[in-house]
Structure 1
Amino acid sequence: MPYAIAPDDTRIYYETYGDGAPVLFIHGGGGNTICWYQQVPFFARNYKVIVMDLRGFKNSPCAPESNHPRHYPADVLAILDQEGIGKVNLVCQSLGAWAGLPLAVKHPERVQTLFISGSPTPAYSPETWEILRKAGKTFDDGRHDLRSKSIGWNRKNVEARPEMLHLYGCIKALNPKGFLALTMQADDVKIHPVEFEGYRVPTLMTGGSHDDFLTPESHHLVARLLPNSQKYTFEDSGHSPYFETPDEFNRVVLQFLDAHN
């Protein structure tokens, strides 16, 4: 089980599969390395796949005071440096964008492409911050179990495949408690519009049309802030297309990666 050592000595767990251009998958607030089980075998055919546990999740325990997304970019760099990777493709789900987008803005020389799904990201606008406030309140008020029931999913998919929701809940249960969604709105993680001047990393913002955990508009709002970014909507999915409609998700990600690698 490989670990990278972050600047504050937190051990960051990760796994690698396959060979080729590196692709790092970064999970959301309900995930960990296991949640990418439908992506790892698919992408490892042609790419070097890396999955990680963000600090505070599953195999990356940390001190309560350091369980904060401000550390995520440095945690990713620790993995890249340990693996000898100069430039990486990033696939970020929801909370994972707090690792990916700051790296693309502040260290574009390390990011080949950035794919973001289901996330208002730390890119600040009054609209994105209001979405975060509402979703974060649901998470931090102890109602985050609603994600393991029905909120944020295409209800038709849940009815047809109840095992999908059960598995999601089992994966999520492996994470220790302690992460506070309120930290996602901290001043030191906020990225202001002026910081996107000259932004040049190829970026694809995506979201699901059934995402009522955030809103179906989140990826559109962020795309307006990122120069030259693209958009894609998963019409049959909610907040987590990678989990809910994996075939379409994999196809869209692969097309994006192949176009820039």
Structure 2
Amino acid sequence: MPYVDSDGASLYYERHGDGPAIVFVHGSGGHHAIWWQQVAALRDAFTVVTLDLRGFGGTRLSAPMTEFDGQAFHRDVVAVLDQEDLTDAMVVGQSIGSIAALRAGLERPGRVSSVVLGHSLGSISHPELRELAAADRAEAVKLPVIDRLLTKEFQRERADLTFLFRQMGTFNTATMQDLRNLDTDGPGLDEIRESGVRVAFLAGERDAVLGVKTVTRAHELVDGSHLEIVPGAPHSMYWETPQKYNAAVARLRRTLTAPKEAV
């Protein structure tokens, strides 16, 4: 599988299938392999690209690092977009990975036609959204981390997949703390509108990290955005309810299609 250089890192990524492109960007506990249920389901109809941000999965560093600058993560996504010469990609972020996804789309609007903010506001700079998200986080931190991500029912009924979910993060060097500064200096509503990149919010009805009310308000504020709330789905919808998640992603890829010329 291929690698691409990006600011002192050799980024590991994979490309599967053929058709309109979907690029998945993992969150703080993930890497390219978390998308196993998406690749298998979507590669027959779409080009599916998965990648490892610096400090995650199979990405190699030119020198040992103990800290990572989250503000640089979007450039890793851009490097893969450029390497694969994509010109009409839908970039799908998961949780904090949505911030890198949105910034990559705004930096390469000629390669990215749409960005899906999965369980995230993408660090959009707006005082009302900051307040709503902060209130949601204040409630989320009262829960054990695993309960924020997966429902208790799933943990009980699928102990095997819950164990594997936990194991995924053990392949990473970067930590949640390294990604926290991703959420600063985010794009404003005007910047998003002027880019021409279409934005969709994808959220779960049972997301314990970001509430439906907050996501709905973000959708109302971002002109022309799409909103997809999946019934019964938690924060890690891609893992716990993959059929619902995959159907939503495929539907958004078809809905948001708006080819652009490469830059």
**TM-score with structure 1 setting the length:** 0.85
Q: Give the Cα separation in 1 of the matches to 2:202 and 2:55.
A: 26
Deviates more, 1:228-237 or 1:177-186: 177-186
The yes-or-no answer on 1:157 pairing with 2:158 is no
Q: Give the Cα separation in 2 of the matches to 1:27 and 1:249.
A: 14
**Residue matched to 2:73:** 72
**Residue matched to 2:260:** none
Amino acid at match of 1:169: R
Give RMSD over aligned pairs.
2.7
Q: Give the Cα separation in 2 of the matches to 1:245 and 1:91.
A: 16
How much has 1:158 moved relative to structure 2?
2.7
Q: Give the Cα separation in 2 of the matches to 1:128 and 1:64.
A: 33
How many equivalent residue pairs?
253
Matches within 5 A, 1:193-204: 193-204=189-200
Answer whether contact 1:205 1:230 (CA < 8 A) is retained. yes
Q: Structure 1 regions of 5+ residues with no counterpart?
A: none
How much has 1:10 moved relative to structure 2?
1.5
Amino acid at match of 1:162: A
Amino acid at match of 2:225: S
Matches within 5 A, 1:1-261: 1-6=1-6, 8-62=7-61, 64=65, 67-130=68-131, 131=133, 135=137, 146-147=144-145, 149-180=146-177, 181-187=179-185, 190-261=186-257
| Residue deviations 1:183-204 (CA, integer Å, cap 9, x gap) | 12333xx212332343532322
| Residue deviations 1:20-61 (CA, integer Å, cap 9, x gap) | 222111111111111101000111102111100111212225
How much has 1:136 moved relative to structure 2?
9.6
Q: Give the Cα separation in 1 of the matches to 2:205 and 2:256.
A: 26
Q: Give the Cα separation in 2 of the matches to 1:61 and 1:215.
A: 36
Deviates more, 1:102-111 or 1:205-214: 102-111
Amino acid at match of 1:2: P
Q: Give the Cα separation in 2 of the matches to 1:240 and 1:200.
A: 29
Amino acid at match of 2:189: P
SS at match of 1:123: coil
Closer, same or farther in 2 for the Cα pair 1:182/1:257, shift >3 Å?
closer
Answer whether contact 1:69 1:183 (CA < 8 A) is retained. yes
Q: Structure 2 regions of 5+ residues with no counterpart?
A: 258-263
Q: Give the Cα separation in 1 of the matches to 2:105 and 2:222.
A: 11
| Residue deviations 1:71-103 (CA, integer Å, cap 9, x gap) | 122211211222222331211111121222123
| Residue deviations 1:98-127 (CA, integer Å, cap 9, x gap) | 222123334322112222211121102235
